[in-house]
Amino acid sequence: MRRNSGFTLIELAIVLVIVGLLLGGVMKGQQLIDGARVRNVIAQLEAQRSAILAFRDRYGALPGDLSRASTLLDAAAADGDGNGRIDSNAERAAVWQHLALAGLLRGSYDGIGVSSVWNGCPITTCPRNTLGGDILYNWGQQASGPGSERNELRSGGRLPAALLAEIDRRIDDGDASGGDFRAADYNAAECLSGGQWKLSADAPAADCAGVLLFY
């Protein structure tokens, strides 16, 4: 008689347990990575907001808009027009140069690159978010929901909607179209559904952005 060979129930159970542990480890690792990215973006935005407010308190003008920057900061600093708005390519670029020269932001920024509304700001001119999107401080109305034009701190693109939704829950109200942290109109068709963060698994939005409003 021939003896049949194969896996026993105990062996199969052991294999399933090992596979479950591996999958659980992968999922836990991804959660840790996602959590670190959320904390990184929050810390970056909060640090930049604090730096902008501190600059305004110190010099009586916004970074990038300071009309006497070449006198008060450095001869190489780009002067703004002093109208209280970051509303030109030159001023958008100068924001980060002014903050760095004032010692309120780490890094060195040249202040001479062309800083467009969402993309195209050189890394020597603008900081980047954790996934490489250009961070901008800019006059406009890119925040989703009701409001008016104002100076907005924009997180930069390339951020998943789920990550932005978690940031919104942690620092604001979780409402993509209300509160102080909102979805940006940038790529809104892909990132929003009914005015809220698009989180459906079958249509993940991976190139989204947020806007932090403050006064």
Tell me: pLDDT of 173 over 70. Answer: yes
Max Cα-Cα span within the chain? 99
Tell me: pLDDT of 67 over 90. Answer: yes
Tell me: pLDDT of 19 over 80. Answer: no
The pLDDT tens digits of the residues spanning 176-186 come to 999 999 999 98
Q: What is the pLDDT of residue 83?
A: 96
Q: What is the token pair recorded at 45?
A: 């935005």
The pLDDT tens digits of the residues spanning 148-166 come to 999 999 999 999 999 999 9
Q: Give the residue-averaged pLDDT of 136-154.
A: 93
| Domains within the chain, CATH numbers bracketed | 12-213 (3.30.1690)
Tell me: pLDDT of 98 over 90. Answer: yes
* % the chain with pLDDT above 70: 86
Q: What is the pLDDT of residue 128?
A: 94
Mean pLDDT of the chain: 88
Q: Give the residue-averaged pLDDT of 119-144.
A: 92
Handedness of CA 64, 85, 88, 53 (dihedral sign): positive
Q: What is the pTM of this model?
A: 0.83
* Rounded distance between C-alpha atoms, residue 183 and residue 158, angstroms: 13
Phi-psi region of 136 (alpha: psi -120 to 50; beta: other; left: phi over 0): beta
Q: What is the pLDDT of residue 31?
A: 56
Residue pair 193/207 in contact (Cβ under 8 Å)? The answer is: no
Taking alpha carbons only, the member of 207, 173, 172, 170 closest to residue 192 is: 207
For residue 39, the tally of other CB atoms under 10 A from its CB is 14
Q: What is the pLDDT of residue 37?
A: 86
Beta bridge partners of 151: 139
3-state secondary structure 156-185: CCCECHHHHHHHHHHHCCCCCCCCCEEEEC
The pLDDT tens digits of the residues spanning 42-55 come to 999 999 999 999 99
